[in-house]
Copies of this chain bind each other. A is one copy, B any other.
């Protein structure tokens, strides 16, 4: 597997910080762990690092993604390989990102900013590491467990897939192509561990976010989330439904600024190194994305932030 462990943080722009606080904290149940004028840091109850979401007021859309790496040696290796690939690569220092150590900043071929780092201040999960309860007794709102993955849009999926594979040891668990005869890549769901996807991308404008996703326990948690979205006037994009891709169950919805979020449940499979990569052809891709509706809603391929 890759020495990249996970999507460690998402940094977003929002139009109104207080609306965002309400959405991510009261509705989704994250905790605000730090704040400064115009900026919030939040974590989910089951995450052990200091934060997983950074929100800054002003506009809408993705600022950058942070992926945590398991050793400085691996970090240096990823840096070297990314440079050799021809990507723009730089170093950032401890403190540039609150509570985050030194790291490497990579501009993906799709212009997205990816930060790799090995250290973030340890906070511990809300249930703790000694005789823990199964979940926090006073869970809030949806009670999201952790930030799980992101889906971005890229102009050249094949190029980004090659980068992620050659430079960062990601593997494709599932791939969308035009047809079995025409292997042009339309999207790829890539993993750095056993999860079906830690970073996914589909063809679209560069440097844009389609959504980032929170893990929930199961299909019943998805229903509860949907109910709360209705109570809290959160716009739902689609769902509850199942994905064909990853087999996960899902709701897509929007934060008040218009950034798309997902709640996602289901351990469809363990994407080990010998996992036989799944191929979706464009004629079946809508079923792959929304397994029940079997057609894409208009927003899916047009709304990016």
Identify the A interface with B (CB < 8 A): 1, 5-6, 46, 48-49, 68, 70, 122, 124-125, 129-135, 137, 145-146, 180, 193-195, 215, 217-220, 223, 226-232, 236, 239-242, 244, 247, 249, 251, 265-267, 269-270, 272-281, 284, 287-288, 291-294
Q: Which of B194, B219, B272 contacts A219 (CB 8 A)?
A: B219
A46–B269 CB distance below 8 A:
yes
Residues of chain B lying within 8 A (CB to CB) of residue A48: 274-276
A134, A227, A251 — which one has the most chain B CB atoms within 10 A of its CB?
Answer: A134
* A231 and B284 contact, Cβ closer than 8 Å, known pairs A48-B274, A240-B240: no
The complex places the Cα of A227 from the Cα of B134 at a distance, in Å, of: 7
Inter-subunit contact A279/B129 (CB<8 Å) = yes
How many whole Å from A244's CB to the nearest CB in chain B? 6
B281 touches A131 (CB 8 A): yes
Q: Out of B219, B231, B287, name the residue touching A137 (CB < 8 Å).
A: B231
**Copies of the chain in the assembly:** 4
* Least distance between A141 CB and chain B CB atoms (Å): 9
**Residue contact A226 to B247, C-beta cutoff 8 Å:** no
Q: A230 touching B292 by the CB < 8 A rule? A: yes
Chain B proximity of A25: nearest CB distance (Å): 15
How many Å lie between the Cα of A145 and that of B269 in the bound state? 9
When distances are taken between beta carbons in the complex, the residues of chain B under 8 Å from A230 are: 133-134, 244, 287, 291-292, 294
Least CB separation from A123: chain B residue: B276
Q: Which residues of B contact A293 (CB under 8 A)?
A: 236
**In the complex, which residue of chain B has the Cβ closest to the Cβ of A236?**
B292
Chain B residues, CB < 8 A from A276: 48, 122, 124-125, 129
Cα separation A281 to B5 with both chains bound (whole Å): 29
Contact of A267 among B68, B215, B273 (CB under 8 A): B215
Asked if B270 contacts A242 (CB within 8 A), the reply is: no
Question: Given B130, B274, B281, which contacts A70 in the complex, CB threshold below 8 Å?
Answer: B274
- State A132–B288 Cα separation when bound (angstroms): 8
Bound complex: CA A189 to CA B241 (Å): 27
In the bound complex, how far is the Cα of B249 from the Cα of A145, in angstroms? 17
**Alpha-carbon distance A97/B293, docked complex (angstroms):** 38
* B274 engages A249 (CB within 8 Å): no
| Bound form: Cα–Cα A247–B129 in Å | 13
Contact partner, A193, options B241, B249, B270, Cβ 8 Å: B270
**Residues of chain B lying within 8 A (CB to CB) of residue A217:** 218, 266-267
In the complex, which residues of chain B have a beta carbon less than 8 angstroms from the beta carbon of A130?
180, 278-281
Q: Which one of B193, B231, B265, B272 lies within 8 Å of A272 (CB-CB)?
A: B193
Inter-chain pairs besides A70-B272, A133-B230, 14 sampled, C-beta below 8 Å: A70-B274, A122-B276, A129-B277, A130-B280, A131-B281, A132-B244, A134-B227, A194-B194, A218-B265, A218-B266, A223-B242, A223-B249, A236-B293, A240-B292
Q: Give the distance to chain B from A9, nearest Cβ to Cβ, in Å.
A: 14
